[in-house]
Amino acid sequence: MTDSSLDDVLHVPPCSLGESKEILRTRTSVIDDQYALLAHGLSAGMPRDLVRYGRRLADLTDFAGYETGGLSDEPRVLVEEAAVHVCFGLTVLEIFGGDDFSGRLTATGRPDGDLELLARARQELPLSPHGARGVLDELRRIWRLERLPARG
């Protein structure tokens, strides 16, 4: 039997963009600025996540594909997943922000505005961003919010 408790916890603050780029340069020579920016944004500058995203991009991506016109499949999927998180945040702001929440709630024609869909979308985010986007699209339709650009 081993003791798995920690005596000390070291708090590591998020990296600046410059620090993130430097960390990624020391970890791999194949990550250019575009992918460093992507890894920094997806990781929120958190060093552990930054290195994980950087390694994933380095392992999965044919970086020559970038030079010939755009993101290859794996980074594109990461960007699309991040876009669903943005869609979630935007939907929350549009529903709960602004004036006359009660009037907009009533206009949905549903006593609770089907806000259970918001909870379901949040539950889906880490499991299936594609599934979460479908739920968010339905919620936005119910609340008569502007349709967001199509996926992919």
Break the chain into its structural domains and give their ranges: 17-71, 74-142
Can you give the pLDDT at residue 133? Answer: 93
Single pTM value for the model = 0.56
Rounded Cα distance, 144 and 91, in Å: 11
Over the stretch 29-41, which tens digit does the pLDDT of each residue have? 777 777 788 888 8
Pick out the chain residues at pLDDT < 70: 1-6, 59-72, 150-152
Helix (H) or strand (E) holding 145: none
Residues whose CB is less than 8 angstroms from the CB of residue 138 and which lie 6 or more positions away in sequence, other chains included: 114, 117
- Is-contact 129 81, C-beta < 8 A? yes
